[in-house]
Amino acid sequence: MEALRLPQSTISRHMSSLKHAEWATARRSGKWIYYRLALPENPLQQGVLKLLQAELPSLPMAEEDKQRLCNHLATKQPVNCA
């Protein structure tokens, strides 16, 4: 939430949509839900994922989001944001 500068409700709604579209998986632990990127089986999703992985690093907004995330995680635990 802090890294993306969005309210928790917005992020939850978006993550729920990604899960429903099979782009993310989720597991619950107490009151928390942990999401991770799903490994797509659909060839179209595989192609879109490859494109995103290739192009996102070149977008300034994506780099800024990543840097804010790394900064936030560094305050919580040792992390490697390479």
Condensed to tens digits (0 to 9), the pLDDT of residues 18-31 reads 999 999 999 999 99
Q: What is the pLDDT of residues 61-77, one digit of tens each?
A: 999 988 988 888 888 76
Q: What is the pTM of this model?
A: 0.72
What's the pLDDT tens digit per position in 41-50?
Answer: 989 999 999 9
Domain boundaries, the chain: 8-74
Write the CB contacts of 63 (distance below 8 Å, at least 6 apart in sequence): 57
Among the listed residues 21, 13, 53, 52, the one whose alpha carbon sits nearest the alpha carbon of residue 38: 21
* pLDDT above 90 (res 1): no
